[in-house]
Every structure is written in C-alpha cells, then in structure tokens.
C-alpha cells in the first residue's frame, strides 16, 4: 500500500517534471490550441513594420497611419483579442532580424524562398510587380537597357531585390543603400542609373522625386504574406484562414486603396 505521503511526493515530482518540460520547450504552453497564445505569447501582437512603403507603413507618426501591413496587423490583433503594438523600423532588414529573434511576432513581407528558411509564412495576400525607377533626365526608357555595361542599379541592403539581381544581372553594377532615403539621395545625385524594388515602393519614391519615373514592364513578382518566427507553426492554420477571410472580405483591397499602393496584381 502506498502511503498518502509517498503519493504526494510522486505527484510533486510529476508536476516538477512537467514544469521543466514547459520551460525547455515553450511551445508546449500553446498546446491548448489558443491562437492568441501561439501568435502573441506576450499578450500583445508586436507587428514589425518599416517606413517609406505602402506595403508596410506610411506616416508612422500620424494618429492613423496608412499601410497594408499596418492594417492587416491591426485586424489580426483584433481577431486574436490582444493589444496591437506596431514596432517601427527604418528598413526591412531590421524587421527580418527582429522576427528571427522573436523580438516581434509578425511581419508583412515578400515570402521569398530564402526567407522561408528562417521564418514561416502564411499564404500570400498581395502580389506586386517588381520594376525599376529611373532618375530625372534619364535616357533609359525600357527594361532591356538596364543590364548593360556601365549601368549602376540601386538596391536596398538585405532585400530580396539585392539577392535576386545579384544573380540575374550580368553586366550592370549593383549599388547598395540601407534605406529609401539614401536611395532618393543617390537618384538625385545620379549616383545610380535605376533603383530596383517592388512597384508600390517605386511609385512612392517617384512622388518624392519629381521628374523620376517608373519603367513599364516588370522583372519579377513579389508575393507578400504574414511571417511568424520559427517554432510557432501551430499558428499557421489560423493565419491561413485569417488570410483567406480578409481577402474575401475586401480588407486587403481597401487597405491597398487607402495606402495609395500601385503595382498590385489582381488577386
């Protein structure tokens, strides 16, 4: 016969063992299937956003910012019934690093194969053409003139455009810049002959640089999706359903319109 004291000791040991497992594998804390605990474990949805593009956030100091990523994050927090906490960075590379480290819970970015090795993605909610912006007074009128000897093509450091064009451009030289403001300065000073990224950002920069223009045609397509840190795979099913729902409800299209985003392909 087992004494009540021995039984209590065994129960305490089991409890301590389970507690140790929970510490060693934090994901176990979310096994109850609550999406809010999986996707926003701090009780707040920390959304990584970067300024200067309608795909993420514009006018981040305004009372009501614009941006597709900003609006999707706000709606996601509402559905999860947690506080929305936008975390603003100056460049996308910083957002990606914060997401990998778990400093933010979600990001809204191009779901490239390279990034999928470091974070997990829901299904795409937005597709945007990739193109080139040329500075005021440029003689370049066609995409075919870009990849020629002597041409300098600007890209953002750490961007998908940098990774892709470093492989695909055979003759032009890549010139890297950390932020969009640096790119505008390079274009203004004619230090680069073109800047490459998604057309939503290109049209936004063109408005700040009179005389510049976005070339017709495209060299690729970005597929934007909600990204989450590795280890939170249990939340992907919820993200997939959420993405389908906001597309069907017109939330993405409405956010595109409010942000003035150009270059989006039909869903």
pLDDT score for 33: 73
DSSP conformational letter for 53: B
Number of domains in the chain: 2
Q: What is the pLDDT of residues 212-256, one digit of tens each?
A: 999 999 999 999 999 999 999 999 999 999 999 999 999 999 999
pTM of the model: 0.77
Tell whether 36 and 115 lie within a shared domain.
yes
Q: Give pLDDT tens digits for 43-94.
A: 999 999 999 889 999 876 667 889 999 999 999 999 999 999 999 999 888 9
Place of tokens 């990584």: 48
Give the pLDDT confidence score for residue 19 in this predicted structure.
41
Residue 146: C-alpha distances to residues 131, 139, 142, 200, 219 (Å): 11, 11, 8, 20, 11
The DSSP-derived string for 189-242 is TTS-SEEEEEHHHHHHHHHHSTT-EEPSS-SEEEEEEEEEETT-GGGHHHHHHH
Give residue 195's domain range.
Answer: 129-221
Same domain, 139 and 113: no
| φ and ψ of 92, to 5 deg | -65, -35
The percent of residues in the chain predicted with pLDDT above 90, rounded, is 78
CATH code for the domain of 70: 3.40.190.10
Q: Which residue has the tokens 């390279």?
A: 114
On the question of pLDDT at 167 being above 90, the answer is yes
User: 29 falls in which pLDDT band (50, 70, 90)?
Assistant: very low
Domain identity same for 195 and 74: no
Digit-coded pLDDT (tens) for 191-205: 999 999 999 999 989
Q: How many CA atoms lie within 13 A of 178 on its CB side?
A: 4
Provide the token pair at 172. 């032009």
């Amino acid at each position: 016969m087992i004494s009540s004291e021995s039984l209590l000791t065994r129960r305490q040991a089991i409890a301590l063992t389970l507690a140790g497992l929970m510490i060693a594998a934090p994901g176990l804390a979310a096994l109850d299937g609550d999406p809010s605990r999986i996707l926003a474990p701090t009780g707040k949805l920390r959304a990584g956003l970067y300024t200067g593009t309608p795909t993420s956030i514009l006018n981040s100091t305004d009372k009501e910012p614009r941006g597709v990523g900003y609006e999707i994050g706000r709606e996601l927090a509402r559905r999860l019934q947690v506080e929305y906490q936008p975390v603003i960075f100056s460049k996308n590379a910083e957002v990606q690093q914060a997401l990998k480290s778990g400093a933010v819970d979600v990001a809204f970015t191009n779901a490239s194969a390279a990034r999928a090795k470091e974070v997990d993605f829901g299904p795409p909610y937005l597709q945007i053409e990739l193109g080139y912006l040329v500075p005021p007074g440029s003689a370049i009128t066609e995409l075919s003139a870009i990849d020629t000897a002597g041409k300098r093509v600007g890209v953002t450091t750490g961007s998908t455009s940098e990774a892709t064009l470093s492989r695909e451009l055979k003759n032009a030289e890549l010139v890297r810049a950390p932020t969009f403001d640096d790119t505008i300065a390079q274009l203004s000073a004619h230090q680069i002959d073109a800047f490459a990224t998604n057309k939503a950002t290109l049209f936004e920069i063109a408005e700040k640089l009179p005389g510049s223009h976005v070339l017709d045609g495209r060299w690729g397509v970005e597929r934007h999706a909600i990204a989450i840190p590795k280890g939170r795979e249990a939340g992907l099913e919820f993200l997939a359903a959420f993405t389908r729902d906001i597309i069907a409800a017109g939330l993405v299209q409405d956010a595109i319109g409010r942000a003035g985003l150009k270059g989006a392909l039909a869903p």
